[in-house]
Chains A and B, each alone.
Chain A
Amino acid sequence: MVKIGLEIHCQLTKLKSKLFCSCKADYREFEPNMNICPICSGIPGSLPLLNQSAVEKATTIAMALNCEIPEKIAFFRKNYFYPDLPKNFQITQLNAYGDTSIGSRGKISVNNKEIRIRRIQLEEDPGRLIYEGATERTKITLVDYNRAGTPLVEIVTEPDFENPSEVRIFLNILSDLLENLGVSDPGLEGAMRADANVSIEGGVKVEIKNIGSFHDLEKAVHFEITRQQSLHEREIEIIQETRHWDDRRKITVSSRGKEEEGEYRYFLESDIPWVNIRSDKKDQLKTTMPENISSKKERYISKYSIAPQVADILASDKYYSELFEKSHSENDAKDIANLITTDLMGLVDTREKRDSSKLLATHLSELVDAIAKKRITRTSAKDILQDMVKTGNSLSVILEKGDLNQISNRDELSQIISDVLSNEENAANEARLKPETINFLVGKVMQKTKGKADPIVTLEILKEKLGI
């Protein structure tokens, strides 16, 4: 009986400023230590100033994960010494004196299984450590506080996962959910991190930290399950401890000796008064929250008759669903959806491609309209899209520039088809004997015309010429 629980840290990268000061929330563009102030660098006499939008965004996350949200939230200090911690304590949340954390006892559905969310808390990210020096002896630790104070939401699950692939699916669902909510950009480097805890046969819980990516998480969990099962079979005791993932050797290693103290002396952070979150505020947040993914998917299927797999792709990806919502009209929703999930996908499947894409929603609507009116063929859509993504040119400009209009002129086509037939004697003979193989020749005509040939007319002429 394998039990896996997760602690996911998600940066609220959509915020403009840090959790307790007005330095920039997204630190990635800055030179070292050029995004700091007295508050986030721990200068004496500075005081934390809680970010209103951070609380609002954390509240929407709690709602999206079906958590109970208390009337008042509070913050606590977690005290320990580490070079990336400017105050040598972290301001975080926990449940003490009743529910004081932003969300508790939530749940989310993963493949028709319910995963329980124990708690959601708002807290600050520490700074970053950089190591310089070639050898162990000469290595020095350098600190960059640009990231210190970046707003984090930590999501703690109950140990409800039973295998690594459930974990992977959950993390994908969670990423999509957080992106869809507009609170974070999970694709940004370092924006989402997770630790795991693993136990087997109702035994002790082993924590695994220092996992670089979700891909590694699945591997780490898999390795740890195997390690524990192997110990168990040989009747060797499994020690309750923290282990870290060694990415080079692809194993988990005991962190004993390197561990942080277990003693954090948690107590109330009284520089931050308890924050009242009134129910009318919660209602307002709920109504202005973006529609959730499963509801979108349902709507795409029922309202536009879009196929479930297509609806799934569209709804789960904020980029696609936004494009879809903006570009479709009453009648062409299905076609737009198909276009996005087939020809467009390969052109904008990475963050870099999306950042540099010049494609607009209007481009898609124009394109679908032109295909419906037969001004261009469906097969030429891919090339046109590529051009649109690259240049941002409208359909009319592209059509003028290149010659993408569908070739329907019989004489023109007839000439081309004759050329193809003379080059493909074997295929021509085969087609005469087995008419169903004529598609090979149609394909060749398409190739030669770069997809511009009208396929129906082409087939007609081919049959004529072959005498079938």
Chain B
Amino acid sequence: MDLGISALNYVTSIKNGDFTVEEFIEKTLERIKDVDEKVHAFLQVSDTALEKANKIDRRIKSNDKIGKFYGMPISVKDNMCVEGTITTCASKVLENFIAPYTGTAVSRLESDDAIIIGKTNLDEFAMGLSTEFSAYGPSRNPWNTDFVPGGSSGGSAVSVSANECIASLGSDTGGSIRNPASFCSVVGLKPTYGLVSRYGLISYANSIEQIGPMTRTVEDSAFLLNSISGVDSNDNTTVEKSHHDYLQNIDVGISGKNIGIVSEMTNSDGVSTEVMNATNNAIKTFEKLGANCEEMSLGSVPYAVAAYYTITSTEAGSNLARYDNIRYGYDFDSEGFEFNSYISKARKKLGPEVTRRMILGGFVPSAGYAGKYFLKALKVKSKLTTEIDNAFKKFDFLISPTVPIQPFKFGEKIEDPVSFMLIDFNTVTANLTGKPAISVPYENSNGLPIGIQIMANSFEENKLFQAAYALEKTVDLPEVPL
């Protein structure tokens, strides 16, 4: 039984009777016990998984209709509400928060008979790029545990990369799925804004974030997207779009397609030599596959990071205001305290990065600064969207390295705020414009992964998967050394 099996192959195996769900889940739990000490992907592991597996096996035996996931173990980033589980957002302020409901994306997986195997680690409240800001300790890159796994969906990426489960749901606000996907050599998709319901996703920057699948293969990503996507009456920002079967025609190839290489993301000083080389190789590969590759420019990209941090710190400052520990949170009696000072005391449990974003989020939208920063940021967002819309009139896809650099060591980047922000340089554009973007593992240099990012126009995930699949098929990457 190979725990590194793809989702599609897992389903085939179960249907063929190669092994039972219970056997696989048992092995999975053992694997987690084995390796999670080293990589700390999980904040919580389910204690009902075996029981659920057993039930599914019995239903299979009785020839019941089984949901398409056939009991496969899927992990969920701990910023998504799953009923009855403590949902911490990797923060101490939600140490005791038990979610009273399950969010839509997770619920759709469960309805299709997926087994939620556990909640994964993240940067606190999804603010970060390396999972170093989790209040419960960082996660570690399974390719080399001295290095960060990326963030903020670091735990999700690790759980899939280290074969602790078959797939994971992460969330992406500025690159939080794609960045750790690139760092951990897994496939990470940020869907079009409005394709996947955010009901149950604990908000950080609600105008741009999305839940997305993290998987070992591109087909698996399409498989998961089929289940979680689609309009939801619990989320008014979801859009009615005819539901594709994203697996259909995934292998048609990209011959004759036009690919734009975003020069601002590919030729900048911030891109390391290894990443540059990998990108050039990828471009050659695309050309061999029959696509026309051409350099192009998105003029507002240099302003995107500033716009991104302005908008997200404003929204975060508001979205996190409810964590006053009065209705839910952690144990801290308000007896003897006055209202305002209690809240400030209770929120001292917020980590340093979240604290910094709260301060920033108080500045930029405030009366004195709103016109100077916030409105300008919104305009950059709009302008960038127009630019990319125009680009997609000519190009089918836009590509770049997912992250300008390879994984770095713990503690290396978190001191300098500006250089830290710039790690997001290539990924924020897709969030600000709402376009779908996927990171495909491409190379492994000095034992550390490099991913290539492909973007497509809104709601064209089916096309996006075709390009990603074609690229993936040309690649033969090593097994994870764990």
> Which single member of B81, B99, B340 contacts A81 (CB below 8 Å)?
B340
**Is B365 in the interface zone, CB < 8 Å from A?**
yes
> Which single member of A267, A270, A273 contacts B374 (CB below 8 Å)?
A267
Which of B129-137, B173-181, B284-292, B322-330 lines the interface with chain A? B322-330
In the assembly, what is the distance between CA of A263 and CA of B367, in Å?
Answer: 7
Instruction: Report the minimum CB–CB distance from B118 to chain A (whole Å).
Output: 18
Q: Is the CB of A86 within 8 A of B340?
A: no
User: In the complex, which residue of chain A has the Cβ closest to the Cβ of B364?
Assistant: A265
In the assembly, what is the distance between CA of A77 and CA of B317, in Å?
Answer: 12
Q: Is the CB of A270 within 8 A of B87?
A: no
Which of B69-77, B195-203, B259-267, B296-304 lines the interface with chain A? B195-203
**Is A46 in the interface zone, CB < 8 Å from B?**
yes
**Is B54 in the interface zone, CB < 8 Å from A?**
no
Q: How large is the interface on B (under 10, 10 to 19, 20 to 34, 35 or more residues)?
A: 35 or more
Contacts of B226 in A (CB 8 A): none
In the assembly, what is the distance between CA of A263 and CA of B315, in Å?
Answer: 15
Ranked nearest first, the 9 interchain pairs of A and B with the lowest CB-CB distance are A88-B321, A270-B207, A265-B365, A44-B202, A45-B81, A45-B200, A45-B202, A42-B322, A87-B322
Which of B36-44, B143-151, B156-164, B231-239 lines the interface with chain A? B231-239
Please report which residues of chain A, range 12-69, place their CB below 8 angstroms from some CB of chain B when the two chains form the complex.
38, 41-50
Contacts of B340 in A (CB 8 A): 81
Instruction: Report the minimum CB–CB distance from B190 to chain A (whole Å).
Output: 17
**Is A266 in the interface zone, CB < 8 Å from B?**
yes
Instruction: Report the minimum CB–CB distance from B316 to chain A (whole Å).
Output: 12
> Which single member of A44, A50, A270, A271 contacts B322 (CB below 8 Å)?
A44
- Over the window 231-258 of chain B, the binary record of Cβ atoms lying under 8 Å from chain A Cβ atoms (1 yes, 0 no) is 0011111000000000000000000000
**Is A79 in the interface zone, CB < 8 Å from B?**
yes
**Is A392 in the interface zone, CB < 8 Å from B?**
no
User: In the complex, which residue of chain A has the Cβ closest to the Cβ of B198?
Assistant: A47
Q: Is the CB of B100 within 8 A of A47?
A: no
Known: A47-B198, A89-B321, A267-B318. A83 touches B99 (CB 8 A): no
Other A-B pairs beyond A44-B322, A45-B203, A89-B321, 8, CB < 8 Å:
A38-B100, A45-B81, A47-B235, A86-B327, A263-B367, A266-B365, A267-B318, A270-B315
Contacts of A83 in B (CB 8 A): 326, 339
Q: Is the CB of A77 within 8 A of B318?
A: yes
Interface residues of B (CB under 8 A from A): 80-81, 87, 89, 94, 97, 99-101, 103, 198-203, 206-207, 233-237, 314-315, 317-318, 321-322, 324, 326-328, 339-340, 343, 362, 365-367, 370, 374
Q: Is the CB of A272 within 8 A of B236?
A: yes
In the assembly, what is the distance between CA of A267 and CA of B374, in Å?
Answer: 9
Contacts of A86 in B (CB 8 A): 322, 327
In the assembly, what is the distance between CA of A262 and CA of B368, in Å?
Answer: 12
In the assembly, what is the distance between CA of A65 and CA of B367, in Å?
Answer: 31
- In this complex, the member of B97, B201, B321, B340 whose beta carbon has the largest number of chain A beta carbons within 10 angstroms is B321
Known: A81-B324, A270-B237. A265 touches B99 (CB 8 A): no
Q: Is the CB of B206 within 8 A of A81?
A: no
Interface residues of A (CB under 8 A from B): 38, 41-50, 77, 79, 81, 83, 86-89, 141, 143, 262-263, 265-268, 270-273
Q: Is the CB of B322 within 8 A of A265?
A: no
Q: Is the CB of A265 within 8 A of B202?
A: no
In the assembly, what is the distance between CA of A46 and CA of B315, in Å?
Answer: 15
Q: Is the CB of A79 within 8 A of B321?
A: yes
In the assembly, what is the distance between CA of A38 and CA of B89, in Å?
Answer: 18
In the assembly, what is the distance between CA of A79 and CA of B374, in Å?
Answer: 15
Offer 18 A-B interface pairs, CB within 8 angstroms, sorted by A. Answer: A43-B81, A44-B87, A44-B202, A44-B203, A45-B101, A45-B199, A45-B201, A49-B233, A81-B339, A81-B343, A87-B322, A88-B321, A89-B318, A263-B366, A265-B366, A267-B315, A267-B365, A273-B236
Instruction: Report the minimum CB–CB distance from A38 to chain B (whole Å).
Output: 6
Q: Is the CB of A265 within 8 A of B362?
A: yes
- In this complex, the member of A44, A83, A265, A266 whose beta carbon has the largest number of chain B beta carbons within 10 angstroms is A44
Instruction: Report the minimum CB–CB distance from B199 to chain A (whole Å).
Output: 6
Contacts of A45 in B (CB 8 A): 80-81, 99, 101, 103, 198-203
Q: Is the CB of A47 within 8 A of B236?
A: yes
> Which single member of A41, A44, A88, A272 contacts B81 (CB below 8 Å)?
A44
